Amino acid sequence: MAKAPTSPALRERYDRRQAGVVTAAAHVFAERGYDQTSVQELSEGIGLAAGGLYHYFGGKEQLLIRICDQLMDPLLGDARKLAAGDGGAAERLRAVVRLWVAHAIEHRDHMLVFQQERHVIDHGDQWAEVRRTRKAFERVVEKLLDEARTEGAIDGDRRLLLAALLGMVNHTVQWYRPGGRLKPQQIADGYVDLVVGGGADPT
């Protein structure tokens, strides 16, 4: 793996290209499977010369970690901002789930790879930061559910409701198709309504 440039202009270009490699690799892995894709096939799939992948990453596993980071880091940051905003807990929960669904659909390939490799991600020290980010996001949603229950907007076990939201949102990428009957925001509102029972204003 080549050392990143120190010049700000060159570093920006390097980081942008590296991010593009991550996105392209997510698409290749989503279509072919992570384990089934060799480094040579991956390089060809993302348009790099043989061995060019090692200019940006030490290997496939490091690239897989970056795919997970590219999926989870911005989602966690934006969700925290929405959760800390104004309004009732149910209203803020709706905003977070709208963000979550839209992000999952926009990063469909990343989501599919994450789901395919969940058995690997759940173990090993090298995945500790990915697991920490995932748990931190779940705590954001769980806290909003707790607040909404305190405010009387929902009734039920927060862990069960969290599991339901995780299952619904994560499964969205399996069936959603652009141009379908439901838009991402409508899907998110439908999920929230199942939890909140229409207690929050969907507008």
Distance from C-alpha of 112 to C-alpha of 29, rounded to nearest angstrom: 9
Positive or negative torsion for Cα 137, 78, 111, 15: negative
Q: For residue 201, is pLDDT > 50?
A: no
Residue 8, domain member (yes or no): no
- Residue 7 pLDDT: 67
Query: Is residue 47 one of the residues assigned to a domain?
Result: no
Asked whether residue 107 is assigned to any structural domain, the reply reads yes
Distance, in Å, from the CA atom of 34 to the CA atom of 26, rounded to the nearest integer, reads 9
Number of domains within the chain: 1
Average pLDDT over residues 10-32: 86
pLDDT score at 158:
85
pLDDT in the model for residue 174: 93
The yes-or-no verdict on residue 39 having pLDDT over 60 is yes
Residue with tokens 């050392």: 3
Q: pLDDT band at 9, cuts 50/70/90?
A: low
Q: Is the pLDDT of residue 55 over 50?
A: yes
∠ CA 5-51-48 to the nearest 5 degrees? 80
The model carries a pTM of 0.86
CATH number, domain of 119, equals 1.10.357.10
Q: Percent of the chain at pLDDT above 90?
A: 59
User: Given a cut of 60, is residue 198 above it in pLDDT?
Assistant: no
Q: How far is CA 176 from CA 18, 111, 121, in A?
A: 28, 12, 25
How large a percentage of the chain has pLDDT more than 70?
91
Q: Is residue 88 part of a domain?
A: yes
Domain around 165: 60-196
| Residue 1 clears pLDDT 60, i.e. is over it | no
- Does residue 27 form part of some domain? no
* Residue 26 located in a structural domain: no
Residue 4: predicted pLDDT: 60
pLDDT in tens, 61-85: 889 999 999 999 999 999 999 999 9
User: What integer best gives the mean pLDDT of the chain?
Assistant: 88
| 112 domain residue, yes or no | yes
pLDDT at 183 over 80: yes
Domain assignment present for 160: yes
